[in-house]
Structure formats: C-alpha cells, structure tokens
Amino acid sequence: MHSPANTPVYERVRRNPKFQELVRQRSRLALILSAIVLVGYYSFMMVVAFAPDLLHKPMSDDSALSVGFPIGAAIIILSWLLTGVYSHFANGRFQDLTDEITRETLQ
C-alpha cells in the first residue's frame, strides 16, 4: 500500500469546511465546462452524421464559404477559451483556497 488509510493529516483536511467548499466548487466548474465542450462537440458530430446539409449552407447568398467553417472554428476557439476560464479560476481562487488549507493543515 502506498499510504496507510486515513492518515490524520488527511482526516484534518477532510474536516476543514474550506476543503468541502473547494471540492464542491471546483468540481462543479470542471463538470459544467466539460459538459459544454462535450455537448457542443457531440451535437456538432451528430449534425455531421445525420444532417450534413445544415453545415453546407453558404454564409450569405453570394458567399462560397459555408456556415460549417465558422462553426467548426468556433468549437476549437471556444474550447480553448474554456481552458483559459478553468485555469483562471483554478489558479486563482481555488489555488488560494488550496494554499490556505495546506497552511492550516500542516502548521
């Protein structure tokens, strides 16, 4: 076994209300962002598989580019921006909270 079960240090962390808050809030953020990316991507794939004509539509009457291109690019750019959102919160508020918990636990 890598570490004995229920080490006192970890027990203390678990009892810390800040830990509960950290886990709840960060998990919620991660789940919401994952859901946005996955739902967005799989909806797109379903359109590709079942209703490809929707993506064939030209962007305007005299345009050669179809709406599929900006939509595809948007999926990539939006997904990337969401990694920025996650990093912003995880490295800011959540990291501060983690540091506080670590300090309180290890002192």
Q: Which alpha helices (DSSP H) does 8-107 contain, by range?
A: 8-15, 17-50, 52-56, 68-91, 93-106
The interface mask with another protein, positions 28-67, x = CB under 8 A, is --xx-xx--xx--xx-xxx-xxx-xx-xx-x----xxxx-
Question: Using the rule CB under 8 A, which residue among 23, 28, 39, 43 binds another protein?
Answer: 23
The sign of the torsion formed by the CA atoms of 93, 94, 98, 101 equals positive
Do residues 10 and 107 make contact, with C-beta atoms less than 8 angstroms apart?
no
Shortest Å, Cβ 66 to another protein = 4
72 binds another protein (CB under 8 A): yes
Q: Phi first, then psi: give them for residue 66, nearest 5 degrees.
A: -90, 165
Instruction: Tell me how far apart the alpha carbons of residues 69 and 73 are, in angstroms, rounded to a whole number.
Output: 6
Shortest Å, Cβ 102 to another protein = 6
Instruction: Tell me how far apart the alpha carbons of residues 80 and 78 are, in angstroms, rounded to a whole number.
Output: 5
Residues within the interface to another protein (CB under 8 A): 1-3, 5-7, 9-10, 13-14, 19, 22-23, 26, 30-31, 33-34, 37-38, 41-42, 44-46, 48-50, 52-53, 55-56, 58, 63-66, 68-69, 72-73, 75-77, 79-80, 82-84, 86-87, 90-91, 95, 98, 101-102, 105-106
